[in-house]
Amino acid sequence: MDAQTDMSDASAAAKILAAVRAIPRGQVAGYGEVARRAGLPGRARMVAKILGENNDSKLPWHRVLRSDGRIAFPEGSRGFREQAQRLRSEGVVVVNGKVRGQKAAASIDEQIWGGM
């Protein structure tokens, strides 16, 4: 990689981390939605990679889920248990690894027009 590529990757990572920090307490967003909010549509895997490399203990990474509202960690793993516990501590209902009562990733139409 050249310096320009490194800089654009750093910029993308900064945008993704800012989008994750902007998810309000008690709410969730899907990896794809975080990518869209960061101005990087279609880069859900990049979001997962950035979060996987994160070492900022204050980043609310636990608010990011799969698009179907499920925790991405293998059920029963340490990450799975920690994410579920963190979400529950914010009042989010988690049943069998899936968030209840919220959609993890609203489409642009749903955001603009609501549930018509």
For residue 22, being part of any structural domain is answered with yes
Average pLDDT over residues 11-24: 96
Q: Which of 76, 2, 23, 13 is nearest to 49 (CA)?
A: 13
Q: Enter the pTM of the model.
A: 0.81
Using DSSP bridges, classify how beta strands 93-95 and 98-100 pair: parallel, antiparallel or unpaired: antiparallel
For residue 113, being part of any structural domain is answered with no
- Residue-range definition of the domain harbouring residue 95: 3-54+61-106
Element (H, E) at 5: helix 3-21
Question: In the prediction, which pLDDT does 34 show?
Answer: 96
- Token code pair at residue 104: 């993890």
Question: In the prediction, which pLDDT does 4 show?
Answer: 45
For residue 15, being part of any structural domain is answered with yes
Summarised one tens digit per residue, pLDDT across range 45-95 is 999 999 999 999 999 999 999 989 999 999 999 999 999 999 999 999 999
Question: In the prediction, which pLDDT does 103 show?
Answer: 59
CATH number of the domain where residue 102 is located: 1.10.10.10
